């Protein structure tokens, strides 16, 4: 007698199936609840690929590309589709390197073949062809040593080296047609599920693979080039090659010798040199520049950067005064309210922009101004005798979410402002086809900092992350091109350090917690890195802002 199992979808519909039915077949019965192809399932709070056969009853959830979980799988599957298309079109020895994210897509380079716009068009057409063929993406568990031998034979030494530092006896390989690859995250069931994308040629064998996002899942938007951000990524990638660290395996090779102290010093010098450049630029135009504005997404290191920049400016005879946008929040009773009833503390509407500009104008005119301090417990501004009066060689440093938005400083002439955008633009990858999300570095920083300084556990931070990202998409990223300088606050060694602090916190997330799948993903991600002790990290490092021991916390 055939065993019957019951699948309950979101407690709104339940269906019965024969035991052994694959999730891909079950998903078809619930496809009408989704606007896009279902990519993956969640059962027992575990992310499960659609090729899985179900043998008992479950409560189930599905995800398409409009959700964060599904969108990550969509992007990862597209990367594999790109790799296959390039090898089919240009030859198996031709390699694609997926470098980093930029403008809702991935910047990639082709190695072993000269490319131009027509070639990129042919690659895109090949991807479309492969998508329409509805090729199955097969997953197989293989011995790690057998995988290493396979990639050695294929001369894919980036994968050989990264697999040497993974302790698992078995790993998962994926196959499209006759091409195998290693990915550390889940993939879609078939190529037809990733059918919306664009390739945009940049220059020098580089191009961008764009695809729908959770904020615009309907279609792929045209790529918008962000030159300063792009140049900073390229500069850091070139620097990584100079010091022979381009991926996790390169970093692990240094750590495994115990000689990581010099690497820490090199990374800190690279970051500090950016502050030297900024201080020089401000000094060269000190007759005009009176306000320095620093903005960036969460956990970019804005606080440490602002504090260190003050030191560099003082060394050049420029006296900095720091003003916090938060001190100009409206009193709580005047704070705007969101439709869900929560206070809208993220938008510029929460800031008394009129008073803020009035004070800035007076300060630039040489007047003495009493600066408020916001009491977050009482929810109101207070005046506690904090007076500023800036002189000829003084500047005001303003750091915060809206700093690059000209509406914040609407009364100040553009020539008097120097704008800085900061973000950890990670150049490190796992291997040529497994990139590191810039947001993952920030997420790990935030988890560690929230626990150490705010008493939050990892679950609380992960639950806030969606709201944090929405705020960045709305209030930070649209203004990044307004910057006069982009600071890359990524440190090539930091993931090995963050691993020590974040991993135990992630293991504390319970299996029945809604964010458990994300905690597990980050745990698996961190397995690609050997731990690096924090003993020799200088006390003025950005990393100290998150792990503790910062010299600036004592000020």
pLDDT tens digit string along 380-418? Answer: 999 999 999 998 889 999 998 899 999 999 999 999 999
Tell me the per-residue pLDDT of 420-475, one tens digit each, with 9 for 90 and over: 999 999 878 999 999 888 899 999 999 999 999 989 999 999 999 998 898 899 99
Residue ranges in 196-259 assigned as alpha helix (H): 227-242, 248-255
Weakest-pLDDT range from 278-282, 340-344, 511-515 = 340-344
- Asked whether residue 554 carries a pLDDT value surpassing 70, the answer given is no
How far is CA 221 from each of CA 118, 199, 521, rounded to the nearest angstrom? 20, 11, 28
In which residue are the tokens 């994308």 written? 197
Does residue 361 form part of some domain? yes
Token pair 């500090």 is found at 272
The answer to whether the CB of 252 falls within 8 A of the CB of 165 is: yes
Q: What pLDDT shows up at residue 393?
A: 87
414 and 285 share one domain: yes
What CATH number should be reported for the domain holding residue 51?
3.10.20.30
For residue 112, pLDDT over 90 is answered with no
Same domain, yes or no: 99 and 247: no
Whole-number Å distance between alpha carbons of 216 and 473? 12
The reported pLDDT for the residue numbered 436 is 87
Residue where a domain terminates, one of 173, 202, 225 = 225
Question: Residue 120 has which token pair?
Answer: 């990129």
Residue-wise pLDDT for 161-212, tens only, equals 999 988 889 999 999 999 999 998 899 999 999 999 999 999 888 999 999 9
Q: What is the mean pLDDT of the chain?
A: 93
Q: Which domain holds residue 134?
A: 69-225
What integer pLDDT is reported at residue 1 of this predicted model? 60
Q: What is the pLDDT of residues 261-279, one digit of tens each?
A: 999 999 999 999 999 999 9
Tell me the pLDDT tens digit for each residue of 466-499.
988 988 999 999 999 999 999 999 999 999 999 9
Residue 281 lies in a domain: yes
What is the per-residue pLDDT across 35-82, written as a single tens digit (0 to 9) for each?
A: 999 999 999 899 999 999 999 999 999 999 999 999 999 999 999 999
pLDDT per residue over 146-155, tens digit each?
A: 999 999 999 9
Is residue 551 assigned to a domain?
A: no
Structure tokens at 335: 């704070």
Supply the pLDDT for residue 463.
95
What CATH number is given to the structural domain containing 516?
Answer: 3.40.50.300
| 504/457 same-domain check | yes
Strand 434-435 versus strand 429-431 pairing type: antiparallel
Name which of 86, 341, 393, 330 is nearest 209 in CA terms: 86
414: its two tokens: 């553009």
Burial class of residue 91 in the structure, from the number of CB atoms within 10 Å of its CB (0-12 exposed, 13-18 middle, 19+ buried): exposed
- 219 in a domain, yes or no? yes
Instruction: Specify if 496 maps to a domain.
Output: yes
Distance CA 536, CA 450 (A): 23
Q: Are 552 and 506 spatial neighbours (Cβ–Cβ below 8 Å)?
A: no
Residue 473 within a domain: yes
285: Cα separation from own chain's centroid? 33
**Model confidence at 348: pLDDT above 80:** yes
List, in sequence order, every residue forming a beta bridge with 173; answer none if it has no partner. 140, 182
pTM of the model: 0.91
The upper half-sphere exposure of residue 338, i.e. CA atoms within 13 Å in the direction of its Cβ, equals 7
- Token pair listed for 34: 């989704």
Split into its structural domains, the chain has a count of: 3
Write the burial class of residue 542 (CB in 10 Å: 0-12 exposed, 13-18 middle, 19+ buried): buried
Question: Is residue 552, in this structure, part of any structural domain at all?
Answer: no
**What confidence tier does 337 reach under pLDDT thresholds 50, 70, 90?**
confident
> 210, 225, 240 — which closes off a domain?
225
Asked if residue 140 lies in contact with residue 172, where contact means CB atoms within 8 angstroms, the answer is: yes
């Amino acid at each position: 007698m055939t065993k019957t199992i019951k699948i309950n979808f979101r407690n709104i519909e339940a269906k019965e199936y024969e035991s052994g039915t694959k999730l891909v077949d079950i998903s078809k019965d619930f496809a009408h609840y989704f606007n896009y192809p279902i990519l993956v399932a969640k059962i027992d709070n575990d992310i499960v690929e659609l090729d899985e056969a179900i043998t008992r009853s479950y409560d189930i959830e599905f995800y398409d590309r409009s959700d964060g979980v599904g969108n990550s799988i969509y992007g990862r599957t597209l990367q594999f589709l790109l790799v296959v298309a390039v090898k089919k079109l240009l030859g198996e020895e031709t390699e694609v390197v997926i470098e980093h994210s930029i403008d809702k897509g991935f910047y990639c380079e082709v190695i072993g073949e000269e490319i131009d716009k027509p070639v990129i068009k042919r690659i895109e057409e090949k991807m479309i062809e492969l998508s329409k063929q509805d090729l199955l993406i097969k997953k197989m568990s293989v011995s790690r040593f057998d995988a290493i031998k396979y990639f050695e034979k294929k001369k894919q030494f980036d994968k050989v080296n990264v697999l040497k530092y993974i302790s698992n006896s078995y790993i998962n390989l994926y196959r499209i047609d006759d091409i195998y690859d290693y990915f550390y995250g889940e993939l879609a069931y078939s190529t037809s599920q990733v059918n919306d994308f664009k390739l945009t040629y940049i220059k020098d064998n580089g191009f961008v693979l764009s695809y729908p996002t959770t904020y615009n899942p309907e279609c792929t938007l045209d790529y918008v080039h962000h030159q300063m951000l792009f140049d900073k990524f390229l500069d850091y990638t070139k620097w990584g090659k100079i010091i022979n660290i381009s991926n996790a395996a390169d970093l692990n090779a240094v750590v495994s010798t115990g000689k990581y102290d010099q690497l820490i010093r090199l990374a800190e010098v690279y970051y500090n040199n950016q502050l030297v450049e900024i201080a020089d630029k401000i000094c060269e135009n000190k007759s005009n520049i009176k306000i320095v504005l620093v903005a960036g997404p969460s956990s970019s290191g804005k606080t440490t950067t602002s504090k260190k920049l003050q030191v560099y400016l003082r060394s050049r005879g420029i006296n900095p005064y720091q003003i916090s946008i938060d001190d100009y929040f409206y009193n709580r009773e005047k704070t705007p309210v969101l439709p869900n009833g929560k206070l809208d503390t993220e938008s510029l509407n929460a800031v008394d922009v009129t008073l803020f500009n009035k004070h800035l104008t007076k300060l630039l005119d040489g007047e003495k101004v009493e600066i408020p301090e916001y009491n977050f417990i009482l929810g109101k501004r207070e005046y506690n005798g904090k007076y500023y009066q800036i002189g000829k060689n003084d500047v005001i440093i303003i750091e915060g979410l809206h700093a690059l938005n000209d509406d914040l400083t609407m009364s100040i002439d553009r020539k008097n402002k120097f704008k800085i955008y900061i973000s950890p633009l990670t150049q490190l990858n796992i291997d040529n086809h497994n990139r590191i999300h810039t947001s993952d570095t920030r997420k790990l920083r935030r988890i560690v900092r929230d626990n150490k300084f705010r008493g939050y556990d990892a679950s609380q931070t992960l639950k806030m992350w969606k709201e944090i990202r929405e705020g960045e998409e709305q209030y930070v990223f649209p203004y990044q091109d307004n910057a006069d300088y982009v600071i890359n606050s990524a440190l090539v060694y930091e993931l090995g350090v963050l691993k020590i602090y974040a991993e135990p916190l992630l293991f504390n997330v319970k299996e029945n917690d809604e964010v458990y799948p994300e905690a597990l993903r980050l745990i698996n991600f961190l397995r690609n890195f050997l731990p690096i002790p924090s003993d020799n990290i200088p006390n003025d490092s950005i990393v100290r802002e998150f792990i503790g021991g910062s010299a600036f916390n004592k000020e």
